[in-house]
Chain A
């Protein structure tokens, strides 16, 4: 490797680290938000473990429903901070922070990787906090078990943060992002086997469960648990996950998670670094000066287009007119 390349790589690594540190610092500053975020998975575990545990009565000898739930809740604890990485990309774009970073002489890839790594770190920490309370769910404090749990957490955080980043670079606004994640997260979680063994689902649903990255995360975590908890191995709740008659091993599932994350990140980076991708017209084009005053209808190029295009013009025009109303104040033009 020649010197120029080393210098270049060093600059990019610095950019990644800078973005990462910025995110983490900002996250640590929002203490209330952080505390609420950390409390959420514990509430989930308590509420579901006690509540659903009472309904699910036929647990095997030795382990309770809370123990069965623990790996799943761990994965659930990770998802919201991991997706927050994607939301922060869109938030930055909205605030104009992204514009400032894009004008820096570093590759756009580095900025995105920094964001994803920060999301991974934050999400892993959220999950790790839950590990502290493993005893309450009947999970032993075995260093080997906790380490493998941590490995699962890192991988699932990375996969979800990358997925969030991919969604963020494809979607136009934080609101759309929220709506999209709201739509997909429910089914994704429900069909991942957090609350019940997947063997109870009809066979045709296997297609979805097998393609769901969360399934493999939950299953991998559950398998590491049964490996250390002989009582649970015999439990019907912990029945093996079968994908089209195949039984993937924990390593395979973790590898699949890592591949999924890498693929998402690759696609996100590709889209993000496309020139002009993040460009939007900085200010609305003027519609209020003489040449336009003559013609109040939509410009000719919009007239014969589809309804969506016309609708878009309508909303744009209304926006412009509102802004021009005397006394109406805008934050920035």
Chain B
């Protein structure tokens, strides 16, 4: 032990602050996977992917439906055993220490896992108990997290009554309740409208800034990779590309033609609705809408 630290500081010596000390300690990569593969009943869902997520970064996985994103997430949270390959999450080997992996992660699944019969606070309490948040800290922790998420008024609301975007935000908040080192988020914006999507991403970025955990997030929308520090493209169980979001999006057209990014502006209502309603020319319809 350094004698100077406890015996009072000699004049002229300033100790580095805690943040710097913490940053100086080498941390294991948030996620390290090598040749990770999963086969379900003969179907190769994930076919050997290599992944390295650094501590504290937001890493995006872009891929179409059925690319293996959810299976990858399931393997990362030790719910599913990889058929082959090796995987470390926050320094814990997923094969030998699944409990350690689960202790260091927070997960937001694609399908909602909030109990809609309970209130917001009850849901958070169940989560806290299952994840071993110290009993005396639970109340304060829940209050501070809800404040951070701008949801303090909803504490006693039944989850059933909340709109989809708020539920998603709540799930992200809940998954950070136990200070995980890695946050896994599976398609957070699926099934949400444009405003809710923006809300959820803003919320995710904010929670990331406040907690400093590494975040691995999957998405089907190429445009959403812009919210990440780095992004990878997953297609039919294989990693196709890796780089900054800008790089990945620029290469997207050549690498995999079917992964076309969505149009910059969403189609207008008039492109989607049937043209002829039998009530005069389109200009009138448009006027009545605006």
Give the interface of A toward B (CB within 8 A): 11, 14-15, 17-19, 21-22, 25-26, 29-30, 95-97, 99-106, 275-276, 278-279, 281-286, 289-291, 299, 301, 331-333
The interface residues of chain A lying within 8 Å CB-to-CB of B80 are: 276, 279
**Contact call B126/A18, Cβ cutoff below 8 A:** yes
Q: Per a CB cutoff under 8 Å, which of B73, B158, B236 touches A286?
A: B236
Count, chain B residues at interface, CB 8 A? 44
The interface residues of chain A lying within 8 Å CB-to-CB of B179 are: none
**Contact call A283/B112, Cβ cutoff below 8 A:** no
List 8 A-B residue pairs with CB atoms under 8 Å apart, sorted by A's residue number: A29-B118, A100-B109, A103-B105, A105-B99, A281-B45, A285-B43, A285-B45, A289-B258
**Contact call B130/A26, Cβ cutoff below 8 A:** no
Select from chain A the residue with minimum beta-carbon distance to B112. A96
Is B62 an interface residue, CB under 8 A from the partner?
Answer: no
In the assembled complex, the Cα of A301 lies from the Cα of B42 at a distance in Å of 8
In the assembled complex, the Cα of A290 lies from the Cα of B73 at a distance in Å of 25
In the assembled complex, the Cα of A168 lies from the Cα of B148 at a distance in Å of 39
Is B191 an interface residue, CB under 8 A from the partner?
Answer: yes
Q: Known: A99-B79, A282-B70. Is A15-B129 also a contact (CB below 8 A)?
A: yes
**Contact call A18/B132, Cβ cutoff below 8 A:** no
Is B107 an interface residue, CB under 8 A from the partner?
Answer: yes
Kindly provide the distance from the CB of A249 to the nearest chain B CB, expressed in whole angstroms: 41
Give the interface SS of chain B, mostly helix, strand, loop or mixed. Answer: loop
Q: Known: A11-B132, A103-B102, A281-B43. Is A96-B70 also a contact (CB below 8 A)?
A: no
**Contact call B113/A99, Cβ cutoff below 8 A:** yes
Select from chain B the residue with minimum beta-carbon distance to A21. B126
**Contact call B77/A103, Cβ cutoff below 8 A:** yes
Kindly provide the distance from the CB of A67 to the nearest chain B CB, expressed in whole angstroms: 39
Select from chain A the residue with minimum beta-carbon distance to B132. A11
Known: A278-B79, A281-B43. 6 other contacts (CB 8 A): A29-B117, A95-B112, A99-B79, A99-B109, A286-B64, A332-B191
The interface residues of chain B lying within 8 Å CB-to-CB of A30 are: 117
In the assembled complex, the Cα of A105 lies from the Cα of B105 at a distance in Å of 9
The interface residues of chain A lying within 8 Å CB-to-CB of B125 are: 18
Select from chain A the residue with minimum beta-carbon distance to B116. A95
The interface residues of chain A lying within 8 Å CB-to-CB of B74 are: 279, 282
Kindly provide the distance from the CB of B254 to the nearest chain A CB, expressed in whole angstroms: 16
Q: Per a CB cutoff under 8 Å, which of B71, B105, B115, B190 touches A26?
A: B115
**Contact call A18/B130, Cβ cutoff below 8 A:** yes
Is B227 an interface residue, CB under 8 A from the partner?
Answer: no
The interface residues of chain B lying within 8 Å CB-to-CB of A283 are: 65-66, 70
Q: Known: A25-B118, A97-B115, A285-B40. Is A104-B102 also a contact (CB below 8 A)?
A: yes
Select from chain B the residue with minimum beta-carbon distance to A28. B117
* Residue with the greatest number of chain A CB neighbours at <10 A, chosen from B74, B105, B127: B74
Q: Known: A283-B65, A286-B65. Is A333-B131 also a contact (CB below 8 A)?
A: no
Is B244 an interface residue, CB under 8 A from the partner?
Answer: no
CB contact list, B97-137 vs A, under 8 A: 99, 102-103, 105, 107, 109-113, 115, 117-118, 122, 125-127, 129-132, 135
Q: Per a CB cutoff under 8 Å, which of B42, B79, B129 touches A279?
A: B79
Kindly provide the distance from the CB of A62 to the nearest chain B CB, expressed in whole angstroms: 47
**Contact call B113/A97, Cβ cutoff below 8 A:** yes
Select from chain A the residue with minimum beta-carbon distance to B186. A282
Kindly provide the distance from the CB of B124 to the nearest chain A CB, expressed in whole angstroms: 11
The interface residues of chain A lying within 8 Å CB-to-CB of B135 are: 14
Select from chain B the residue with minimum beta-carbon distance to A29. B117
In the assembled complex, the Cα of A105 lies from the Cα of B103 at a distance in Å of 5
Select from chain A the residue with minimum beta-carbon distance to B122. A25
Is B81 an interface residue, CB under 8 A from the partner?
Answer: yes
Q: Known: A11-B132, A25-B118, A101-B130. Is A332-B77 also a contact (CB below 8 A)?
A: no
The digit string for B56-82, where 1 denotes a CB below 8 A from any CB of A, is 000000001111001101100111110
**Contact call A333/B190, Cβ cutoff below 8 A:** yes
Select from chain B the residue with minimum beta-carbon distance to A329. B191
The interface residues of chain A lying within 8 Å CB-to-CB of B126 are: 18-19, 21-22
